[in-house]
Amino acid sequence: MSEDLKKIRLNLARSKDYPNGSNRHGYEFVAPLDDTGHIDAAAWKKLRDKCRVRRFWGDEEWDIGHLVHGPGGRWAFHYDLEGDEDDEGGYRFAEHPFVPGEYVSIRDDDGDMHTFTVVTVEDL
């Protein structure tokens, strides 16, 4: 079933602080996608241990965590398995296709919303 998993790279889109976007700020995560590029919640349940995320943010140390699925279909990145660090929530992730060129938004653990471009979607 691992052939259903995809590695998705998101780079920071254009913003006030980064008028050209940034390939040094973003996420790489693993998730099962359906034929339309949406996260497949049923497949995720079977493969959740393999659904990992790496957050890279300039010169900061990487954050490594998991893609989690919560109440109401909410998707988030969870880094702190044993503590109380806030999750980073994907804004309407269930509705967005993860295909190159599309945009998605993520609310970071400080509550700030950032927009990202889907750069690559690769088979694992």
Tens of pLDDT along 20-63? 999 999 999 999 999 999 999 999 999 999 999 999 999 999 99
Model pLDDT, residue 3: 53
pLDDT tens for 64-86 read 999 999 888 899 999 876 656 66
Distance (Å) of CA 59 to CA 33, 37, 55, 62, 63: 30, 31, 11, 9, 12
For 54, list phi and psi in degrees, rounded to 5.
Answer: -125, 120
pTM confidence score:
0.91
CA distance 65 to 25: 16
In the chain, domain spans? 2-123
Which of 83, 96, 89, 80 is closest to 111 using CA atoms? 89
